[in-house]
Every structure is written in C-alpha cells, then in structure tokens.
C-alpha cells in the first residue's frame, strides 16, 4: 500500500509539473506580477497537503473536492481546507511585492543606462 501511495504522489507531481509548464507558456504575455501570482497559486493548490484519513495525505484541493462530493460536514471541510485558503490569501501580496521589486530593479537599470549614455555623450 505504501508503494502505491508513493507511486500516486510521484505521478501527481509529474503531471503537476507539466500542468504548470503548460500554463506558464500560456500566461507568457501577462505582466510579471500576474504570472507570479498565478504560478504561486498553482503551487499552493498542487502542494499544500491535507489529511484524507489517519493514514493518508493528499493535496488539499483534491481533499476539498472529495469532501464536498461526499457531503462531509462543513466544519470538517473547513478544518482541512484552512491551510490552503490561508496560503492562497498570502500568495497574492507576495506576488505584488515581487512584481514591485522587479519593476524597481528595471527602473534602476534604465536610470543607470540613461546616466551612462549622458556620460558617454560628454
């Protein structure tokens, strides 16, 4: 049984990698901040674990779907999904900070290049 669980996690990780690679190529034309936000959200959805039962752990998104389809009590669903929700809430401010830092870095590089051109002109 342990080998089957390990094999299913391996298959899940490989398919998740290809999913993220394909979506990254589709999101190529979006601004950097949105790309990072979507990428970090995908990582959260794919990697944040939740308990299925006492012995098994699965990605929280899959556990949420299974629990909703099996009509599990809402308090149990909330307890299982809370880490995923908290991560998704924290991912977007992080994406905005990374986008702001990248824009700042690009602006500093443009300013430095403009200064270098002015110095070369003299």
pTM value is 0.73
How far is the CA of 64 from the CAs of 15, 76, 79, 89, in angstroms?
19, 10, 10, 17
- What pLDDT is recorded for position 5? 67
Alpha-carbon distance of 3 to 104, in angstroms, equals: 48
Nearest-CA neighbor of 43 among 22, 64, 17, 5?
17
The predicted-structure confidence for 83-107, as pLDDT tens digits, reads as follows 888 998 999 999 999 999 999 999 9
Domain ranges across the chain: 2-121
- What pLDDT is recorded for position 101? 95
For residue 74 the two structure tokens come to 């809402």
Q: Are 80 and 56 in contact (CB under 8 A)?
A: no
């Amino acid at each position: 049984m342990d080998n089957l669980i390990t094999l299913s996690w391996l298959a899940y990780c490989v398919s998740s990698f290809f999913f993220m690679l394909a979506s990254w190529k589709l999101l190529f034309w979006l601004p950097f901040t949105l790309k990072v936000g979507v990428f970090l959200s995908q990582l959260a959805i794919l990697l944040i674990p939740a308990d299925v039962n006492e012995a098994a752990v699965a990605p929280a998104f899959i556990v949420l779907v299974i629990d909703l389809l099996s009509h599990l009590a809402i308090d149990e669903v909330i307890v299982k999904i809370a880490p995923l929700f908290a991560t998704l809430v924290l991912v977007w401010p992080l994406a905005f900070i990374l986008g702001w830092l990248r824009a700042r870095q690009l602006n500093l590089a443009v300013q430095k290049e403009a200064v270098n051109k002015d110095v070369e002109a003299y």
